[in-house]
Structure 1
Amino acid sequence: MRPAVLLAAGILLAACAARPSPDTSVDALMARYDGHGPGASLLVVRDGVPLVRRGYGFADLEKRVPASPQTDYRLASVSKQFTAAAILLLVQDGKVSLDDRARRWLPGLPPAADAITVGQLLSHQGGLVDYEDVMPADTTVPLRDKDVLALMAKTDHLYFAPGTSYRYSNGGYAMLALIVEKASGTSFQDFLRDRIFVPLGMTHTLAYVKGGPPVPNRAYGYSEEGGHWVRTDQSMTSSVLGDGGIYSSIDDMARWDAALYGDRLLSESSRAAAFTPHTRTDDPTVEYGYGWRITGDSVWHSGETIGFRNVIVRYPDRRLTVVLLTNRNDPEPYKTALAIAHLYL
C-alpha cells in the first residue's frame, strides 16, 4: 500500500478511536441520574431492537432498590397517548364518533361546554377551565376523574369558543376517560387493561387506583429540598387517570412503540388521526395530534408530575424511539432524550 494511503488510513483509524462510542456518550448524558439518588430508566430502540436498555440510580431510596428496565414509573401526561388510543378504539368499534358532543356522554358538563366535541378534547381545543385552578385549596382527598367532572359542572364558562384556539387541558383528558367508561360500560382502568395492555403483552402497565392491583416494581417519586431527596410521590391530582395515572416500564413501552407501526392495535386510519397535526400549540415549533405532540419528523410527549419527569420521542420514518422515565423532579428530560436520539440518527 502506498505511503499516502497508509497515512490516510491511519488518520481515519485514529479519528474513529478518538470519537466517543454511543454507549459512552449516553452514559455521559445520563450521569446526573446515576449514583445514590433517585434515577431513571432509558430505552433506545430501532426497528424493534433495543440499542440501550438500562437503569440509573434508585427506584426506591428508602429500600435501596436500583432502577432497572422493569421499573414502573408514573407516566404523568405520557398517559395521554393511551387515553387517546382508548377513544380511537371505541371509534373503530363504532361506539364513539370524534364529532360527538362531549355532553352527549357527559350531560353533567356545564351548558357552556355544549359545543365541545370528542375530537376537540383530544387535541386540547375544547377551552375547558383548568380543574387544578378551581379545586378547593383545602382538598385532602385525592381527586378522581368523576370529581373533575363535578368541578367542571360548577364552572359554566370556557377560555374560548371550542375549536377556535388551543390550551393544554388535563381536565379534557379526564373527561375522555369518563367517556371511555360510558361508551364501553366498563371502568377506564379495565378497558385499558383488556383492550391495550394485555393484548400487547404490557403485563407491568396499569392505570393505578387505590384498592386495585398494586404497581409491580414501583418507582417512588422524589424532589430535592435543601440538598436532600424527599419522597413526593403523590399529590391531590395523582389519582386522576385520564390525564396522567398510568404506570409503566421501558420494557412495556417498547411493546407499545412496536404496536404503533402496524395494525395490531390501532387501524391505519386511527394511527393517522393520532399523528396528524390538528392544531398549533403555544410553542411555534410544536403541533398537537391526539395524545401526541408533533415537531418536524418526530412525535413525542412529555409527562411531569410531583416527583416524576418522563418523555417518549419517536422518529417513525427512522424507526427510532427514545423513552426516558425518571422518578425525580429535576431535570426535565426532553432535551436529554433529543441529545441521545441524535447519537443514533
Structure 2
Amino acid sequence: MSRWIYRLAPLCLSAFSTLAVAALPRLPADPGIDGLMQRYDGQVPGASVLVLKDGQPVFRRSYGLAVLEDGTPATPASNYRLASVSKQFTAAAILLLAEDGKLSIDDPLKKWLPGLPAVADTMTLRQLLSHTSGLLDYEDLMDPADTRQVHDSDVLALLQKENRTYFTPGSDYRYSNSGYALLALVVGKASGSDFASFLRQRIFLPLGMRNTWAHQDGVDDIPNRAYGYSQIDGRWQRTDQSTTSAVLGDGGIYSSLDDLAKWDAALYDERLLKASSLQLAFSPATKTSEPDVPHYGFGWRINGDALWHSGESIGFRNVIVRYPAQKLTVIVLSNRNEPEPYPLALAIARRWQETTQ
C-alpha cells in the first residue's frame, strides 16, 4: 500500500471527526474553570480554553474580547498569535523534509546557509532544533533606534556579521529564537518554496487547519483575528505588533482552538509524520537550564510525561500542554500581556487527572 493511501484513510477519519466536533452543541460550563478564568471575562482582552480527553473536547470555551475597539467577543474560532508555540510547526516542517529526503537533521547548517561566519562551521540542524547551537539572540543584535519589522532573512543578515557564539556548538543549551528563524529559511531552501507556503500546503491544509497561517502582513488576512493588548497605566492598550513580530520561524503562526484540536489529533498517529519522526520530536534531545523543564525535544519542552510549550510575545500569552499517555491536552490562548497561562493549564489539567486516578 502506498504511503499516500496509508495517510489518506486517517485523514478521512480526521475530516469526519472535524465535522462532528464542529456540529457539537456548546459544552456545559465548568464553574471551577470559569473561576480560574474570571480575570479574562467581560470587556477585557480574553482567552480561549480547550480540553481534549481521549480525542474528544470535554471543555471548549472562550472568555472576554478578541477585539476591544469594537467589542468582538473571543470564540473557539478566534485566531491568536501563537508566538513560540509556533516552534513545534517549524520542527515538524524540518522533519517532513527529512522524511522526503530533502535534508537530514544532521546536515551542517552552512550547507543551507553558507553565508554564516566560520563560527557556524560545526553547527547542525539538530542543534538548532534542540537549542544547542550557541547562536546569539538576534533581538540583542537589532538596532533599537530602527522601528522597522525584521524578518527571518534579516535574522540571517544580523548573524552573518557576528563571528561569535555563546558556547561551542553542541556543548550546552540556551533557548534560541535565532535558531528557529534560521530553520524557517532552511525549510524554504530545501523545499523550493517559502516557509509560509510550505506550512500551508504540507501541514495546515492536509490537517484541515484552514484558518491557520504563518502570517505575512500584506500577503494574507487572518480571519477571526484576536488582537494583542497590554495593560499600561491601568488601561488596556493595543500592543499587537513589535519589531520582531514578522519573524515566522520562531513565533509567527496564528491559530485557534478549533484548528489546534486537529493538530493535536495528528500527533497521535501517522497522518502527518511517521512514528519515528514524532519520536524524535517528543524525546529528550538535551537537558535544559530552564526551571521545572528537565529536557527539550524538537519544538517541545519535556517534563516527565508532559509535552508542552508556551508562547509569549507582545500582547499574547499562550500554552499547550499534552499528556499523551493519558490522552489529555489543555490549550490556553490569550490576547494580553499577562499573566502566563502555564499554571492555569496545569490547574485545569489536574481536574481531569484527579477524576481518572
- The TM-score, its normalising length taken from structure 2, stands at 0.90
Task: Choose the corresponding residue for 1:35, options 38, 42, 48.
Answer: 42
Report what 1:262 is aligned to.
269
User: After the TM superposition, which residues 267-286 of structure 1 pair with which residues of structure 2 at under 5 Å, given as runs?
Assistant: 267-283=274-290, 285-286=292-293
1:249-302 C-alpha deviation (Å, 9 max, x unpaired) = 000000000000000001000000000001111125311000000001100000
Report what 1:315 is aligned to.
323
Report what 2:19 is aligned to.
none
Report what 1:342 is aligned to.
350
Which structure has the larger Rg over C-alpha atoms?
1
1:110, CA displacement in angstroms? 1.4
1:221 aligns to 2:228 (yes or no)? yes
Structure 1: which 5+ residue stretches go unaligned? 1-20
Q: Counterpart of 1:213 in structure 2: which amino acid?
A: D
Q: Give the distance between the partners of 2:121 and 2:54, measured in 1 at CA.
A: 44
Task: Choose the corresponding residue for 1:77, options 77, 81, 84.
Answer: 84
Task: Choose the corresponding residue for 1:324, options 324, 332, 337.
Answer: 332
1:140, CA displacement in angstroms? 1.9
Task: Choose the corresponding residue for 2:181, options 174, 189, 205.
Answer: 174
Structure 2: which 5+ residue stretches go unaligned? 1-27
1:148 aligns to 2:155 (yes or no)? yes
1:61 aligns to 2:95 (yes or no)? no
**Secondary structure at 1:343's aligned position in 2?**
helix
Q: Give the distance between the partners of 1:193 and 1:168, measured in 2 at CA.
A: 26
Report what 1:89 is aligned to.
96
**Secondary structure at 2:329's aligned position in 1?**
strand
Q: Counterpart of 2:297 in structure 1: which amino acid?
A: G
**Secondary structure at 1:179's aligned position in 2?**
helix
Q: Counterpart of 2:317 in structure 1: which amino acid?
A: R
1:32, CA displacement in angstroms? 1.1
Q: Counterpart of 2:326 in structure 1: which amino acid?
A: R
1:292 aligns to 2:300 (yes or no)? yes
Q: Counterpart of 2:169 in structure 1: which amino acid?
A: P
1:88-114 C-alpha deviation (Å, 9 max, x unpaired) = 000000111011000100012111011
Task: Choose the corresponding residue for 1:129, options 133, 136, 151.
Answer: 136
Moved over 3 A (4+): none
Q: Counterpart of 1:328 in structure 2: which amino acid?
A: R
**Secondary structure at 1:317's aligned position in 2?**
helix
Task: Choose the corresponding residue for 2:124, options 111, 117, 124.
Answer: 117
Q: Counterpart of 2:336 in structure 1: which amino acid?
A: R
> Could you tell me whether the CA contact under 8 Å between 1:77 and 1:302 is conserved in 2?
yes
Q: Give the distance between the partners of 2:291 and 2:211, measured in 1 at CA.
A: 36
Report what 2:250 is aligned to.
243
- The TM-score, its normalising length taken from structure 1, stands at 0.93
Q: What percent identity do the matched residue pairs reach?
A: 62
Q: Give the distance between the partners of 1:144 and 1:63, measured in 2 at CA.
A: 30
Q: Counterpart of 2:327 in structure 1: which amino acid?
A: R
Q: Give the distance between the partners of 2:223 and 2:54, measured in 1 at CA.
A: 27
Report what 2:202 is aligned to.
195
Q: Counterpart of 2:66 in structure 1: which amino acid?
A: A
Q: Give the distance between the partners of 2:40 and 2:287, measured in 1 at CA.
A: 33
Deviates more, 1:108-117 or 1:266-275: 108-117
Deviates more, 1:203-212 or 1:21-30: 21-30
